[in-house]
Amino acid sequence: DDGGNGSHNGKDYIAYTFYASNFGQETINYWATIEIDDSIKNVDEAIRVMVIKNGNRVIYAKKNRTTGENEKDTTAFYDDKIVMLEENKEFKVDDTDKYTIVIWVEGDDPDCTDELIGGEIKMHMTLTEEHIPQNPIVE
C-alpha cells in the first residue's frame, strides 16, 4: 500500500493506487465493484485480488474448484464474475477513501496448473454513487 500513487507494478503483480473523494455537497453511499470481463484458459481460478482500502486489506479468490471451500487466507469472490461488491455508507463531504488494488496469479493455489499457462484476465472496477436525500419528502 506504500508503493506510491497510480501504477506501481512489480515483477509478479499488478498494483494501482487511487483515491475516491466526495467533493459534492451531500453525504452519499457508494458501491465498489470489481468485475471479471474475460478470463482465458480459466486463469481466474488461480487469480488473487487484494483490495486495500484505507489500510484494511482483503484478499479475494475463487473458491477451490475441488472442495468448494475458500482458499487459505482469502475471501471468496462474490460470484463467478464479480470479485467484490461492497457498500460504503455515510461517505461525507470532503471524505476520501484510498484504494490500492493488487492482482497476481497465486502459484500455490491448487487450481494453478499448467493448463493456465498463457491465460489472460480482464477486470474493471466501478464506484457507483447511491444518493441519500438530506431532507426526504414524507407523504
Query: pLDDT digits over 89-109, tens only?
Result: 999 999 999 999 999 999 888
Range among 55-59, 65-69, 114-118 rated most confident: 55-59
Query: How far is the C-alpha of 51 from the C-alpha of 94, rounded, in Å?
Result: 22
Contacts of 99 (CB under 8 A, 6+ apart): 17, 18, 19, 20, 32, 51, 52, 53
| The pLDDT of residue 115 | 87
- Its pTM stands at 0.88
